[in-house]
Amino acid sequence: RARHVEGDEWHIEGVKRFITGGDNDYFENIIHLVLARPEGAGPGTKGLSLFLVPKFWVEKDGSMGARNGVRTTKVEHKMGIKASATCELVFGDETPARGLLLGNVHDGIRQMFQVIEQARMAIGVKSMSTLSTGYLNALGFAQERIQGPDLLRAMDKSSPRVEILAHPDVRRMLLLQKCHAEGMRALCFYAASLQDQRELHAATDHKKSEALERRNDLLLPLVKGYCSEKAYEMLSLSLQCFGGSGYLQDYPIEQYIRDQKIDTLYEGTTHIQALDLLLRKVARDGGQLLRELLAEAQATIASEEGGADLADARAALGKALENLQGMLMALLGKMGESLYHVGLQGNRVLMALAEVLIAWLLIRHGALAVRKLAELPEGAESERGFYQGKIFSARYFATQVLPRLSFDRRQVEASDLAPMNLPVSAF
Number of H-type helices and E-type strands within the chain: 11, 12
Please state, in angstroms and rounded to a whole number, the distance separating the CA atoms of residues 255 and 80: 7
Is 267 designated active site?
A: yes
Strands 14-20 and 86-91: antiparallel
256 contacts 235 by C-beta, under 8 angstroms: yes
Distance separating alpha carbons of residues 420 and 388, to the nearest angstrom? 49
Count other Cβ atoms within 10 Å, centred on residue 36.
26
User: Is the Cβ–Cβ distance between 348 and 340 less than 8 Å?
Assistant: no
Cα dihedral 282, 332, 221, 394 sign: negative
Cα 278 to Cα 14: distance, rounded to the nearest angstrom: 32
> Could you say which of 117, 182, 229, 267 is catalytic?
267
- How far is residue 161's CA from residue 154's CA, in Å, rounded to a whole number? 10
The CA-based diameter of the chain, rounded to the nearest angstrom, is 87
N-to-C CA span, the chain: 37
| Cβ atoms of 362 and 179 closer than 8 Å | yes
Contact 402, 363 (CB under 8 A): no
Phi, psi (5° rounding) for residue 104? -100, 155
Residue 333: C-alpha distances to residues 134, 171, 310, 340 (Å) = 41, 42, 35, 12
Task: Determine the Cα–Cα distance for residues 20 and 159; give it in Å rounded to an integer.
Answer: 54
Angle of helix 168-201 relative to helix 381-400, nearest 10 degrees, comes to 90
Cα separation, 24 vs 65, whole angstroms:
18
Burial 54-81 (b: 16+ CB within 10 A, else e): bbebbeeeeeeeeebbbbeeeeeeeeeb
Exposure of 292 in the CB half-sphere (CA atoms within 13 A): 11
Residue 221's identity, in one-letter code, is: P
Residues annotated as part of the active site: 267
